[in-house]
Structures are given as C-alpha cells and as structure tokens.
Amino acid sequence: MGASNPLLPKIATVVDIVRETGDVNTFRVVFDDPEEMAAWNHRPGQVAFLSVFGVGEATFCLSSSPTCRDWLEFSVRRAGKVTTALHELEAGAKIGVRGPYGNSFPYEAMRAKHLLVIGGGIGLAPLRPLVNFMLAPENRKDYGKVEIIYGGRTYNDLCYKEELFRTWPETPDVAVWTTIDVAEEAWQGHVGFVPAYVEEVKPTPEDKFVVICGPPIMIKFTVKALENLGFRADQIYTTLEMRMKCGIGKCGRCNVGARFVCRDGPVFNLTELYQLPQEY
Amino acid sequence: MKEITEMLQQVAARLFNEGLEMFIGYESGSVPAKARPYFAAVQGETAALVFNPFCEHNLAKYLVRFPNAKTAVVVKGCDAGAVERLVKERNLDRTRITVIGVPCGGMLARERVLAELPQDGKITAITDRRDAFVFQTSKGEHVLEKKAFLLAKCLICTQNNPTGVDLMLGKEAPPVGETGKDPYARVKEISALDPPARAAFWDRLMDRCLRCYACREVCPACSCTECCFEQAVPGWQQGAIWLSKAVTLPDNLHYHVIRAFHVAGRCTGCGECERVCPVRIPLMLLNRKLAGDIDELYGPTPPDVPSVLCTYATGDRDEFT
Amino acid sequence: MDSKIIKKDKLLSLLERFIAGYHVLAPVREDGMLVYRPVGIPGDVELNPGRSVLPPKGRFFPQTEILYSYRIEGEKLTLEEYVEEARQVILFGVHPCDLRSFAVLDAVFTEEPRDAYFTARRNNTIIVGVSCSSVLPECFCTAFGISPVEGNGADIHLTDIGAGAYLVEVLTPRGKELLQKFDSLFEDNVAGAEEAKRAKEASLIKKISLSVKVNDLHEKMASIFENPYWEKISRRCLGCGVCTYVCPTCHCFDIMDDGAGKAGERFRCWDSCLFREYTLHTSGHNPRHALAQRLRNRFFHKLSYNNQRYNIEGCVGCGRCVALCPVNIDIREVIGAVRGLV
C-alpha cells in the first residue's frame, strides 16, 4: 500500500518546543524524509493528525504558514490523552504526522481585500498561518491591510508573543489590538473581553474578510458585535471543531448535517453555518 | 388480555387527572406478535397502552430518565425487583413513582409463535387460559400451550405476581413455571465441565460478542451514569484503560466478566441482557452463576441490606491481609 | 453477459472447488443464527440463506482491524503496515440488499483519498450473489428500487428456479473468468429459466410491505429536523449500538492504539453514533449530548445525508435494525412518520 495509504502517518521529529502559555506548547516538526518535507503543501486553515505511538492520534490545526518550507508548527493545549503525551515529549522525539486535511480560508478570494483577524486564546493558532501567509514578502502585495484583535484571559495566556508584540506591529499596514480579560499589575494594555473590544475598535466592513477563532461564547458575541458594525454573514469565517478519527471522510464522526468537517471544513462562513444543524 | 389492557388505560387516564406527568407502559409493536415500551405524556396518549404476552421488556430502568417527573410504570413479577433495587440504591425517588403491577401468565417466544400462526393471519385477541394462550386470528383460533411456547425464563418463573407495587391490576396469576425445577441446572452443567471444555464453551460464545452494549444499556443494575468501560472523559480514573475498544475474545471476556461482577448481588434476574443480545449470548448463565455463589457464601440477603457485596461489618473476615 | 444452469449437486461440487482454491466465506447456521464464516465443507453452506445477523460488510470492513504496528528501537521508529493476504476470497451467498450495500460502502471508502484497507479487500474478493427465497416481515428492499432476485453488485448471481436447479448469471469479467475454470459443472441455459426467475420475483415482491415509499424523502427530511418526533421516538431507545452494528451500510469507526512503550499496534474498530461518547469533545462539550439528537442523526444519515453526499440511498431495506432493535424502533415507521409530518 505504501504511499497510497492515507491512514499511515509519516515519521517526523520534534525539533523544537516553544512554551507559549502555561498549557500551550508549539511543536516544531520536521519530516525524517526530506522528500516528504519538500512534498508537504498545506493551505491556511487546514488540519493534520499528530501521532504519539502507543497513546493515539489527534487532530490539530497547522499554525505555521504554508510559506515556511523547512518545518511545520502545531500549537497544542494540554487537555486530553494525546495532548498530554505530546506535552511530555522532548525535542528529538519521534512522532507521526499525516495530512493536510480539509478546506482552507478563502485566501484566493481574499486577494486585494483587507483582513480582520479576531482571536481568543489558542484560537489564534489556526489564524496565524493566514496572517503569516499574507505577510510573507512574496504575497504581501496581493493583500490589503491586516487588522488583528486578540485577547486572552491573562497576559500569560497570550500565544505567539514575539509576533504579537514585535513582528506584526512593526510590519507596514498591520494593526494589532491586544486585550486581556482581567487587569494585571504589569499589563499596560487594554483590559476587557474581545467582543467589547471589537465594538471599541470599530473595524469597518468595506472590502474586508473576517476570520474568527476562539471559545464558542467569544465567537457568539463577537459575531453580534460585527453584525452591529455592518458586517455580512458571508464576510465572516470561522473554523469548526469536531472529534475526528480519519480526516478523510470515512469514519463518519465529524459530521454536522451532511457535511464532514474534515472534508468540507473546518472553515465555514456564517452563511454556511446558519444552514447547518446546530450540532457542533 | 383485553381486561388488563382496558384497566391499564383507565388507571393511566385517572393518574393523569391526578397530576401524573409520564406513564411508562407498553404499546403494540410494528410487526406481528411484538410489543414495545411506550411513554404516555398526556392523557390523550393513554389509549395506545396494551398488555399481552409479548410485553417482555423490563421498564424499570426508564424511570431513571425522569428524575423530576411524577411517573407511573407497569411492572410484571420479574420487573418489580428492579424498581425496588433502583430505589434502594437511591437512583429513584420512590415518592414520585406509582408502580402498577400486572399479573403475568408468562411471555411468549415470538419466533415460535410466528412459526405456529398462519402467515397472513392478523391477531385479533389473546386470552390467557392458564396452561395455554388462545389466539384469535383472522384465520381462526390457535391454542398455544405454554409449556411449548413460553420463554425459557418464564418456564422456571415463580414470581407471576409482582410485590411492592402501589396498585395491582386484575386477578392474581397462578404460577406457570414448573415447580421443583432447579433454576441452577444449566449453571451446574457448565460448572461441571472440565476447565478446557468450559473455556471452549465460553470462548465460542464470547467470540461473537459485538460489544454493542445493549446488555449494559438495558440492565437495571447497570445504573452508573458513566460506565467504567466508556472512558468518556479523558483522564478519568487517571486515564486508565480498562478495556480496549478492539473487539477481541480477551476483551469481550473481560467486559462480560467485569460486568457480571459489577451486577453480582444486584442483578434481579429479569433476563433483559439475554433478551436484547443480537448474537444470542446466554448472559443470564453468568449472572445466575454469581447469584448462586453469593447465595451459597452469604445466605439470603436481609431486606434492610442493599446487597451483600455493597455492605460490610468491621468484623468481616479479611482474606487479603 | 451470459447465463447458465447448475444443478444443486453440481453447485455443491462447485463450492468444493471454490474451497480448494480460495478462501470461501459463506452463510452457515450457528445456534439458530445465520452468520458468514470461513467454510471448509460445502454441506455447511446455506444455499438459500435468508437474513444473516451481521451483514457481510465485515469482509471489507472488519469490526476490528489492525492498520499497522509500530516499533521503537533507540532513535528509530518503524511502522509496519497490515497487508491483505494474497489469496483471493470468494464471498458466497450475498442477497440483493447486501449487494447494494457494497455500492453504498464503496461511495464512502473508495472516494479519494481511497481507504487502502477496504480497497485491497474489495479488489481481492469475488462476490457470488444469491436471490432471496423468502421474505421476512421486516424486509423492504423494494422501497429502494432493489429487486430480491437481481444480482447487481455481484460477479456471479444464483437464483433457485426450482426442481433442484439454479440459474447462474455471469455479471462481470471476473465472474466469467472464475466460472470458466469449472465449465464442466454447468449446463446451458434452458428455456423458461428467466421466466421462472421473474415469477419468483413477482411472488416475493407481493409479500414485501409496499407501504414504505422513499422517493424524494431526503428532500423532505430537512423540514422536520426540528420536530418533537425525535424526542418522542428516542424515549424508548436504549442508546445501544445494535442498529448500527447490524447495518450493512454503517461505516463509522474509531482509531486507537493498543500497546505501550516500545511496540504496539494501531487499530480501527466499528463505532456507533448512538454511543454518548461518540462526539464528546475533550472539553466536555458534546454536540449531540441528547439521545434524541443521536437517534435523529442516525436516521438523517440513512435517509438524507447519504443521498446529499453520495447520491445513493443510505438504507437498503434489509430489515436487520428492525428485527434486532431490542425496543422495536422501526425505520419504516420513521419513514412513514416523516412523510406524515411534512
């Protein structure tokens, strides 16, 4: 079967582990076979499966940009069996990777448009590849302004701090607003929930796409805020999370109505979501 | 069976007048010679209630689904113990429940009945004549001797009239089971096999288990809100995996033996596990084996004790130290 | 393609030769149940089987199947795939409803990217269909346009036409190739065989409940997604996996690891959308937390989602779920109720 067996992971090595927050690590992963590394192509928004052998396999969004050809990155929050096992790994560990799966953010349709990114906590992970794809020198001219509104419970819960506080704000035509839920002594920035901050920032809907990811409650109220600001449902994209086992539309588990999140998602715009049963 | 059916409908209607919120009984099934659990939530739904010798289901466990409602449930002799057990183990609030007892002349084995009745004959009435059920069909009358047509469990049953009920309908049913029949006969037969033969007996049966968990879901003694085999919450019980999801003989054996131990001393012998098994594993053999052992080891369980394996005294013999 | 006649005694000889050269799976009786098992003696095989407890889908999609094993030696991690045995398998005695189920499973498993395990087994299996000889009270294949005597999906199809003779229809090149090896066992097709088959079809169809109609059903389903009916019917549902495990078209599975430390296996096994932990997230959130939602999902999958996704009915009317549901949840009644509600 070999290469034609989509359920068989490719062996990869964890080359670096970055501690993002108390319970989120970003794993930098390189395929052992350089040809696999060269052949890997993902689009922003797609997911992949990571295997810790003997423990199991789980789905994660890619958090590295497709323009990065040397490694893949996955930001993983310690929550269940597989994520806990991943967190126990050290650099040099062997894992399995298969993918990429699913659709992606409509980066083609987004050409020449502005982008508003709204994230909460680890919800920035699936949005980061899109931001970095658009900001990559070879793509930058194709896209308009990038606005990022991002929040976490505390300062320590904010991911990708280097990009958040240095790289992105220093890039031309990029604006970053960061907030935390509750005031902290050392924090000079904004305090408050993301939906309220969106209402304060008052982004405009013209020629713009919005991508949102974060806790369901944050998404719910942010969508309300955006609708009040004049955004249409088909401008707003988010990602759905369902349990998945195969990633290739066979195991049946991730269905929402007739859609499989692994094939037809994980990215949906609100118009599409409103037509699906509320079973996600 | 017409009288009991009518009585049930009347009682249900009356109870709804008195503030009942859910009546759990039986209705006719979608295929001939079948009944099924039925839930009347308003008075207008009581006309579908029936009772006949196909009402084999034990309805007690459904009570757990309505913890806050005033509920009534229909029980046969072999079901009543399950209500009592669920109450004893504090899974049910007895004050909210009206237990309605029906006399039972035994339940019929559907396959055998269908083979006996004319294929295109519609059953119009069933009468219990003590030793036989008389079926009126559109193709004439058929007398089915109980000895030949009852479920095996009914042939050894002596609890034809439920106890501990709030309301008993109809006339007391005379015993249908043959008296003096040893309920442990088959258990003794299997126990007498030498170990390799006994292993072969169980291996063959357990090998075909599908792990559909129908036996667990239907069992009134399997009252845990989350089963130790479910592993629903990651990290639950320190992430221990008690059972592989792989359906293999060792895992199947493991599942059934553990389940039998978990319900040992609590199994009320309703036989639902065996009835629902799609691949006909005689699960009651296991349960009966343990019931017999408990009886032998501890004697009859006193009424104030929930179950012998759920109680202890400081003076108990401790063989583990 | 062509058709032949085989006499019953010669059919047993044919089975004997199949057994000599192939791995043969066929329906046999076990404790009064019909089950597909590897057979070694032609006489064990039920030639006019009726409904098996489990559908024959397990040949292509076993309940538990090792995908690959892993081994860690020092810095090295190696994976070893499961490889399908080279010997061809003959799956004998498949009824028309189950033959259709293979097309339903094909739509899922051979859609790109193909499932390597299913595809390998499928390619390695010769299917001998057999027309029904009786109709059980739960049968309703005709609702899905299936005839109880047609062999679509089989390589070779047998129909008992009475007087100890079977009509043998050769339906694929693979079937032709197989039968050529045993040419001497067959007789030329006789006049009247086709008529006998049609007469059989007519008498069988007459016995099937015709009240179930499914045309355009999947379009109507959408309007009754939100309906008290689902909560009502789920009241008696036990939440067990019987209906899904005996269903010839259910294809849900889980993937898990068995083993610890340095070596072990990854396997997949059937799973059921009726189980409460099926969609449970690690966070504790469960998109289908209520049994009513899970039961509704199953019926929508069978009667609507499958049509939408693959343009093929997700139910084949085999009646297994109806016959084996411990609380008599009957998909035919659900279909009737849906029609009544829209």
The per-residue pLDDT for range A94-117, each reduced to its tens digit, is: 999 999 999 999 999 999 999 999
Which member of A2, A249, A258 has the closest CB to residue C308?
A258
pLDDT tens by residue, C202-219: 999 999 876 677 777 887
Q: Are residues C234 and C97 in the same domain?
A: no
Domain ranges of chain B: 2-168, 185-309
Cβ-based neighbours of B2, under 8 Å, separated by 6 or more: B125
| Residues B56/B65, Cβ–Cβ less than 8 Å | no
Kindly state whether residues C157 and C244 are assigned to the same domain.
no
Q: Do residues C136 and C324 touch, judged by C-beta distance below 8 A?
A: no
| Residue numbers in A near C266 (CB within 8 A) | 51, 53, 57
CB A180 within 8 A of CB A152: yes
- Options 2.40.50.100, 2.40.30.10, 3.40.50.720, 1.10.10.60; CATH for A2-101 is 2.40.30.10
Helix (H) or strand (E) holding B69: none
- Give yes or no: residues C190 and C291 share one domain: no
Any alpha helices (H) in chain C, and if so which ranges? 8-21, 96-109, 116-123, 173-180, 193-207, 217-221, 228-234, 242-245, 291-300, 306-310, 320-324, 331-341
Name the minimum distance, in Å, from the CA of C88 to any CA of chain A.
17
Q: Is the pLDDT of residue A227 over 50?
A: yes
Q: What span, in angstroms and rounded, lies between the C-alpha atoms of A133 and A177?
A: 20
DSSP state of B87: H
**Is the preceding peptide bond at C326 cis, omega within 30 degrees of 0?**
no
CATH topology for the A114-239 domain: Rossmann fold (3.40.50)
Chain A residues within an 8 Å CB radius of B234? 79-81
Record: contact C33-B65, CB cut-off 8 A:
no
pLDDT at residue B121 in the model:
78
B-C contacts (CB, under 8 Å): 101
Neighbour count for residue A150 (Cβ, 10 Å): 25
Tell me whether strands C165-170 and A174-180 are parallel, antiparallel or unpaired. Answer: unpaired
A38 interfacial to chain B (CB closer than 8 Å):
no
> Residue C69 falls within a domain, yes or no?
no
Weakest-pLDDT range from A154-168, C42-56, C218-232: C218-232
Confidence (pLDDT) at C223 = 86
Distance, in angstroms, between A243 CA and closest chain B CA?
13
What letters, b where the CB count within 10 A reaches 16 and e where it falls short, cover C207-228?
Answer: bbbeebebeebbeebeebeeee
Domains of chain A, by residue range, sit at 2-101, 114-239
Assess if residue C264 is contained within a domain: no
Of C207, C230, C263, which residue constitutes the final position of a domain? C207
> Given this model, what pLDDT does residue C342 score?
66
C228 and C199 both lie in a single domain: no
**C51 lies in the same domain as C149:** yes
Q: What is the pLDDT of residue B235?
A: 53
Over chain A, what is the mean pLDDT? Answer: 95
CB-based contacts of A257, cutoff 8 Å, min separation 6: A276, A277, A279, C300, C305
> For residue C166, what are the domain limits?
3-63+80-207
Asked if residue C71 belongs to a domain, the reply is no
List chain B residues with CB under 8 Å of C330.
Answer: 29-31
- Residues of chain C found within 8 Å of residue A257, distances taken between Cβ atoms: 300, 305
Q: Say what the pTM is.
A: 0.94
Amino acid at A57: E
Residue A161 phi, psi (nearest 5):
-65, -35
Neighbours of chain B (3+ CB pairs under 8 A): A, C
Both C32 and C96 in one domain: the answer is yes
Among residues C179, C207, C235, the one where a domain terminates is: C207
According to the model, what pLDDT value does residue B263 have?
94
A partners (3+ CB pairs within 8 A) are B, C
Q: Are residues C26 and C167 in the same domain?
A: yes
pLDDT tens, position by position, C106-136: 999 999 999 999 999 999 999 999 999 999 9
Which element (helix H / strand E) includes B227? Answer: none
Which of A7, A248, A252 is nearest residue C251 as measured by Cβ atoms? A252
What string of pLDDT tens digits covers the 321 residues of chain B? 889 999 999 999 999 999 999 999 999 999 999 999 999 999 999 999 999 999 999 999 999 999 999 999 999 999 999 999 999 999 999 999 999 999 999 999 999 999 999 877 789 999 999 999 999 999 899 999 999 999 988 988 888 999 999 999 999 998 887 777 788 999 999 999 999 999 999 999 999 999 999 999 999 999 988 888 876 555 555 556 778 889 999 999 999 999 999 999 999 999 999 999 999 999 999 999 999 999 898 888 887 787 888 888 888 877 776
Quick check: B38 and C256 CB within 8 A? no
Number of domain units in chain C: 2
Query: What are the strands of the beta sheet with A24-31, ordered from one edge?
Result: A56-61, A47-52, A94-101, A10-19, A24-31, A72-77
Listed residues C152, C186, C207: the one ending a domain: C207
d(CA A215, CA A225): 15
pLDDT range class, residue A162, cuts 50, 70, 90: very high
Sequence-ordered strand ranges (E) for chain B: 22-28, 35-40, 71-75, 97-101, 123-128, 132-137, 140-145, 167-168
CB contact under 8 Å between C276 and B232, yes or no, is yes
Nearest to C254 among A2, A245, A256 (CB): A245
Q: Do C79 and A250 touch (CB under 8 A)?
A: no
Residue in C16, C13, C12, C42 with CA at minimum distance from that of residue C27? C42
Per-residue pLDDT of A13-41, as tens digits, reads 999 999 999 999 999 999 999 999 999 99
Q: Which of C72, C80, C218, C252 should we substitute to test contact with A (largest number of A Cβ atoms within 10 Å)?
A: C252
CB distance B230–C241 less than 8 Å?
Answer: no
Q: Measured between CB atoms, which of C108, C116, C257 is closest to A54?
A: C257
* C324, pLDDT greater than 80: yes
Quickly list DSSP for C27-66: EEEETTEEEEEE-S-GGGS-SS----SS-GGGGTS-SEEE
Summarised one tens digit per residue, pLDDT across range C55-96 is: 999 999 999 999 999 998 888 899 999 877 677 999 999 999
Q: How far is CA C165 from CA A43, C10, C72, C178, C189, in A?
A: 61, 9, 59, 20, 11
Q: DSSP for A10-41, please give it.
A: EEEEEEEEEE-SSSEEEEEEEESSHHHHHH--
Report chain A residues whose CB lies below 8 A from the CB of B239: 81, 84
Q: Is the pLDDT of residue A1 over 50?
A: no
Residue whose token pair is 């309301």: B167
At B244 the pLDDT is 85
Strands A208-213 and A114-120: parallel
| N residues, chain B | 321
Q: Is residue C305 a part of any domain in this protein?
A: yes
Is C109 in the same domain as C221?
no
**C92 falls within a domain:** yes
The number of beta carbons lying within 10 Å of the beta carbon of residue B156 is 17
| Residue indicated by tokens 């990559």 | A136
